[in-house]
Amino acid sequence: MARSDIIKAGLDKAPSRSLLRATGLKDDDFEKPFIGIANSWNDIVPGHIHLNKFAEAVRAGIEEAGGIAFTFGVPAVCDGIAMGHKGMRYSLVSRETIADCCEIMVQAHSLDGWVGITNCDKITPGMLMAAGRIDIPSIMITGGPMEAGEFDEGKADLQTVFEALGQYNAGNLDAESVSRVECAACPGEGSCSGLFTANTMACLTEAMGMSLSGCGTMLATDPRKIELAKATGRRIVELVREGITARKIVKEASIRNAIRVDMAIGGSTNTTLHIPAIAREFGIEIDIDLFDEISRSIPHITNLRPGGPYHMSDLDDAGGVPAVMNRLLSLLEDAPTVNGISIKEIAAKAIVKNDEVLRPLTRPHHNEGGIAVLRGNLAPEGAVVKQSAVSESMLRFKGKAKVFDSEDEAMKAILGGEVSKGMAVVIRYEGPKGAPGMPEMLSPTSLIAGMGLAESVALITDGRFSGATRGGSIGHVCPEAYDLGPIAALRDDDIICIDIPARRLDVELSDEEIARRLRDLRPIDKAPRGLLKKYRRLVQSASKGAYLD
């Protein structure tokens, strides 16, 4: 019995069949698998403006394979557009909303399987969370990276624009040059062209076996993407007929493999939020310490933006995610994939086409992986840094704290010239509960970098950073200030000590002094309303993936 028979089989289902006939279905169609297409297309997010053509190609593949396709919409937030204002409070929140939207549509209409057409930062993890939660046959197709912009005989991307503002503020760039960068950096459709969160999650989706091979790095404008979309449509019908559900694909080994690829490519720190939340929906519990454990054993072998010179197109030309896994073959665990062959079979067949873009394990850019988890008296439950994007001089740092209770306060101080070499800028009350919504903060980090301070100023927050962030930026400090974690006790001129190789984040205060300061402290309440108020009541710590419970 097909799952969809509950809405289409038997005389008593005449009412629902009557409604389905209004959509154009004929008698023969009721014998076919019903496949949903969760399409996050809209015309405000560059990573999604082209997804309708992929939806049509997926539909064509479903119909070729003998299925019936039904498309429904899913929201998508552009983090770059939402950055730096209250809209950013809704970005991480949208992850759960997206998962809920997919669950609602798939479950309410008893679909036999579904395809998630996704691309940007929260949409991909949200759809993966839904796949694990619903546990029917499902495949993701990510929309692909944007091409890098051309600027002054070099490459440019969104990070270039943000950092240009810092250069302007430092007096090293004029307004006309900023405008030229603005107009060149984002040439068209696709997710931002560096290894920021969207493209990191696309790569990890492929690594955990939930998209067809090559999908994670194939550019949005690549003609091959249409055929990949058709193949995705054909394959979902096969998965339905074979009874292969999402939880039969994603195992604990799949999650560990995704983290291994993450460490090898130097992915976004936001994966420490998304992977635990995704794993939980698949019935797998992982701790952020797993990221650090794997990071110590997996070298960083490709140096993409924001920390390096290469873009996603370079990684794709070098062989993409299969080539990365080929480098890691001896370190991978075998696991199923939606391709119908195992992850190690895919890795073994892959070819590395550029030994410099994708170096061998014996000649890495860094001996450890991209992410480090720090602990100490300032972060007893952990904090996260993208160590592959930190210069050698910032791996160990000691400086006086400059404390702000919001991103807005910090931005005004940075633009006002109040931040100087040797400072440890602290931005608190921007965590999952405190903000609420744990906004990304690319503006302050990019301003600091653009002003030439990336190698002399640290930035510490209970919020999070964009995947485009580089330098000594430490986020996800837990417990957060709203929960009266030690970060709430900090004052200007306290001495902050960072030791990334030793995995330490400390303040030169005794436990007794921290406790004394916290004893009579009342957390700042930004009095959220609506969705954000509900989110605060349900959201868990960033160290647990900021999932809702």
**For the packed helices 197-207 and 320-327, what is the interaxial angle rounded to 10 degrees?**
70
Sheet holding 34-39, edge to edge: 68-73, 34-39, 113-118, 138-142
Of the residues 4, 94, 466, 473, which is catalytic?
466
The alpha carbons of the chain give a radius of gyration, in whole angstroms, of: 23
Residues 6+ apart with CB under 8 A from 31: none
Asked if 386 and 424 touch (Cβ cutoff 8 Å), the reply is no
Q: Are 142 and 118 in contact (CB under 8 A)?
A: yes
Q: Given its phi and psi angles, is residue 432 left (phi above 0), alpha (psi -120 to 50 degrees) or beta?
A: alpha
Contact present, 125 and 267 (Cβ < 8 Å)? no
420 is catalytic: no
CB 459 within 8 A of CB 444: yes
Start-to-end CA distance of the chain, whole Å, equals: 34
Output the CA–CA distances (angstroms, integers) from residue 517 to 271, 382, 383, 400, 524, in the order listed.
33, 21, 21, 18, 15
Alpha helices in 12-122 (DSSP H): 14-21, 51-64, 79-82, 91-108
> Mutual orientation of helices 91-108 and 530-538 as an angle, nearest 10°?
90
Residue written as tokens 């929201």? Answer: 75
The enclosing H or E element of 203 equals: helix 197-207
Per the CB < 8 A criterion, the answer to whether 429 and 405 are in contact is yes
Active-site residue list: 466
